[in-house]
Amino acid sequence: MALLILTIVVLFVLPDLYVSLALMRGATWWAHLLLWLPTLVTFCLMLTLRNGIGPAKMHLIIGVLFCVAFPKIVFAFFSLLGKLPFGPSFSTITNGIGIVAGAIVAIMALYGTVLGWKKLTVRNVELTFSDLPQGFDGYKIVQLSDLHVGTHGNNVQFIEKVVQRANEEQADLMVFTGDLINLAPEETKPFEHILAGLKAKDGVFSVLGNHDYCIHAMLGQRPSDIREAVVPVIAAERRIGWDLLLNEHRIISMGGDSIALVGVENTGKPPFPEIGDLKGALSGLPEGIFAILLSHDPSHWRMEVVPESNIPLTLSGHTHAMQFKLGRWSPSKWLYPEWSGLYTEGAQKLFVSEGLGGSIPFRLGTTPEIVVITLRKEL
């Protein structure tokens, strides 16, 4: 909490203090009040956080931070440049640049917090493999990832749209690659009957993501805590009707051909749980069978999948492209070598979905996506 308060002071108070003291000395009291009002509202919200932070509070705090505080910071930065000893005209220029830059940031932030995180796109991908059984040529997989339903509170409209659009693809197989919730299992309640409507010919399968273990809401992170906290999430996914793969596999047959769908529990970068068991999940599979792995964190691919297996295709999520992308650039690249789209190492492929949601209600340049993968046999 102390770190959170310090962050609020730096992001909200300091820019307001600078503008108030340096640029508004002769302004009326109500002009100063207007300047400080977003910060005062945010502090009032902070005082209520002991009672929990629901989606409405979260949306308001994020909205004020991105749409008001960040533009003020941008303006203050350029304005401070004008204090360099290059003459009074230089200060006028930098203040003007600051106003324009701050306005651009505000517009981008407003779009990201109001519209960007609720839009929906479909990404179509065709993947070719030399060892794909002939019977699975043209096999269609719909990948959903990172719903984070808690961000929506009790508002079901976006999730209804996801289910409707995913079902329109009439997939052979549907998979969910983790992070159903944000903090608590109770978040699934308003959405379970809707998610139960997801349909595919060969079923809907899922794995757990790091958020599904509820570690973000727990003070301790002992293995016993994690195992106890995840039980209600497992129960929720099974009530929904998904076939949750907990370090195990299923065989899917098409005519006389078969492939394996393998799912592991979360394995990736700390501080998140690393309790996946790839060897256990692969145990008992027929020699040489074509396998598709569901693993939430794409870090797992480099860590274990590539060096210790010959799995042709891995499907992951987790990164969200950090919910901010400009063209093909995202700060996610600083944390994850594989953060969006298709990656290849020899005969092995990884596809990382940018997901459908996030812990905060914001997306800019990376639209919530349903991924439609069509498997092709190399001729």
Residue 219: the pLDDT is: 44
Residue with tokens 């794409």: 298
The number of domains in the chain is: 2
The answer to whether the beta carbons of residues 94 and 79 sit under 8 Å apart is yes
**Residues 228, 190 within the same domain:** yes
Distance CA 23, CA 142 (A): 55
The region, left, alpha or beta by phi > 0 then psi within -120 to 50, assigned to residue 228 is alpha
pLDDT of residue 88 exceeding 80, the answer is no
100 and 166 co-located in one domain = no
Do 127 and 34 sit in the same domain of this protein?
no
Domain of 95 in residue numbering reads as 2-116
Give the 3-state secondary structure percentages of the chain, helix then strand then coil, rounded to 5.
45, 20, 35
165 lies in the same domain as 20 = no
pLDDT tens-digit series, residues 213-253: 987 655 445 556 677 889 999 999 999 999 999 999 999 99
Domain boundary among 60, 85, 116: 116
**Average confidence (pLDDT) over 202-222:** 80
Give the residue carrying structure tokens 């659009």.
Answer: 165
- 68 shares a domain with 133: no
The runs of H, that is alpha helices, within the chain are 2-8, 14-23, 29-47, 55-64, 70-81, 88-111, 157-168, 192-195, 223-240, 278-282, 299-300, 306-308
Share of the chain above pLDDT 90, in %: 71
105-120 pLDDT, tens digit each: 999 999 999 999 999 9
What's the CATH number where 367 sits?
3.60.21.10
Whether 267 and 285 map to the same domain: the answer is yes
Q: Does residue 161 sit in the same domain as residue 20?
A: no
Same domain, 365 and 265: yes
Chain position carrying tokens 């800019």:
364
Whole-angstrom Cα distance, residue 233 to residue 221?
17
Q: Does residue 217 share a domain with residue 94?
A: no
* pLDDT tens for each residue of 325-334: 999 999 999 9
Do 144 and 13 fall within a single domain? Answer: no
Same domain (yes/no): 37, 141 = no
The 10s digit of each residue's pLDDT in 129-174 is: 999 999 999 999 999 999 999 999 999 999 999 999 999 999 999 9
Q: Across residues 6-14, what is the average pLDDT? A: 80
